[in-house]
Structure 1
Amino acid sequence: MKWLNEPPRWSVDDGCLVVTTGDRTDFWRETFYDFIRDDGHFRFTEVAGDFTAQVTLAGEYKALYDQMGLMLRVDQNNWVKTGVEFTDGRAHLSCVITRDRSDWSVVPAPGVAGDITLRMTRHGTAVRVQFLTTSGEWQLLRLGYLPLPDTCQVGVMACSPQRAGFRGRFSNLTITEPIARDLHG
């Protein structure tokens, strides 16, 4: 795996990637805040075709917008990031889809306690984001569209738009063949 914007501190301990963010890092394009940021930390590999990426997240969320999760990236104008983000005084599930301009959806994490496991699946130009509930069921967080070439960058990201020093731990990262297209069980 390679870094886009390598963080000031990172290590791999017992198979887990531990990242400490740099100062005021983020991935965002224009919407609402009228700025462009492309300096978040992203550790990725190139993936051809459809896939499912899955990871478990544990972070020391303290400051507004501290965040970590999965990312699918074509270039600086086209990408998806999803994970846990600290807003309104607590951690939320978050997903941003960027097609020249970023959108943002955020929701409290019902049925989730402690570490959070997420997965992102590419099916052609559709991107499906799910999280694992405490009852062991996959819950849909977002289904979106992104024009995707055959090969994209896929991996984990961490950002701290308001500070330096957000620390997060990524465990059990897998990138495999895509799960079935069934949305409703």
Structure 2
Amino acid sequence: MQWLNEPAEWSDAQGTVRAVTGDKTDFWRETFYGFIHDDGHFYGREVTGDFTAQVTLTGDYDTLYDQSGLMLRVDERNWVKAGIEFTDGAVHLSTVVTRDFSDWSMVPVPDFDGSLTLRLTRHGEAVRVQQYLADGGWRLLRLAHLDMPATVRVGVMCCSPQRAGFVATFSGFTVSPPVSRELH
């Protein structure tokens, strides 16, 4: 695992990564706001072929756009980030797919209990984002297309576009063979 935009304060011990964000960090390209930010914190590794990445997220999400999650990155113009984001005064599940321009989808998590498990699966040119549910199942959050070479980088990311000092914790990050292609 290697950092893109290594935070000044972080640790990786016993299966838990903890990172403290720098000031006004984010990953975003153009859409709506007209700016490009590629200064969020991404701790990832190369993976070739199809895979499933999974992690449990915790953090003190209390300032607009505080976020942590998983990221699949081809380059600075093509990537997916998905995870928890604080917006409109509440925790949401958020996914941004960027193909030169970022798009953003989100859904509120009214029963957020402080942690959430997320997985991201690559099947060829398709990226599937899912949330683990209390009943043991997985809920589909997003199915997106992304042109990708055989090898991409995948890992955990965190950002805080309005401040510095957001503390994100990632537990049990794994990369394994892809889950079944069946969606239901």
Shorter-chain TM-score above 0.5: yes
Where does 1:173-184 land on structure 2 (aligned, <5 Å)?
Answer: 173-184=173-184
Query: Cα distance 1:4–1:86, how it changes in 2: closer, same or farther (>3 A)?
Result: same
State the superposition RMSD in angstroms. 1.0
CA distance in 2 between counterparts of 1:145 and 1:111 reads 30
Question: Stretches of 4+ moved more than 6 A in 1?
Answer: none
Q: Which residue of 2 aligns with 1:56?
A: 56
Q: Which residue of 2 aligns with 1:68?
A: 68
TM-score, length-scaled by structure 2: 0.98
Q: Which residue of 1 aligns with 2:158?
A: 158
TM-score, length-scaled by structure 1: 0.97
Query: Cα distance 1:134–1:112, how it changes in 2: closer, same or farther (>3 A)?
Result: farther
CA distance in 1 between counterparts of 2:88 and 2:135 reads 26
Query: Cα distance 1:112–1:139, how it changes in 2: closer, same or farther (>3 A)?
Result: farther
Q: Answer yes or no: is the 8 Å Cα contact 1:72–1:80 preserved in 2.
A: yes
Q: Which residue of 2 aligns with 1:132?
A: 132
Q: Answer yes or no: is the 8 Å Cα contact 1:70–1:155 preserved in 2.
A: yes
CA distance in 2 between counterparts of 1:176 and 1:47 reads 10
Q: Which residue of 2 aligns with 1:102?
A: 102
Q: Which residue of 2 aligns with 1:27?
A: 27
What count of residue pairs does the alignment treat as equivalent? Answer: 184
Shift of 1:135: 1.5
Q: Which residue of 2 aligns with 1:78?
A: 78
Shift of 1:5: 0.2
Structure 2 residue matching 1:104: 3-state secondary structure: strand
Q: Answer yes or no: is the 8 Å Cα contact 1:111–1:134 preserved in 2.
A: no
Which deviates the most, 129-138 or 115-124? Answer: 129-138
Q: Answer yes or no: is the 8 Å Cα contact 2:21–2:158 preserved in 1.
A: yes
Residue identity over aligned pairs, in percent, reads 64
Which deviates the most, 107-116 or 9-18? Answer: 107-116
CA distance in 2 between counterparts of 1:150 and 1:164 reads 35
Q: Answer yes or no: is the 8 Å Cα contact 2:91–2:112 preserved in 1.
A: no
Shift of 1:8: 1.2
Q: Answer yes or no: is the 8 Å Cα contact 1:121–1:128 preserved in 2.
A: yes
AA aligned opposite 1:119: R
Structure 2 residue matching 1:178: 3-state secondary structure: coil
Mark the runs of 5 or more structure 1 residues left unpaired by the alignment: none
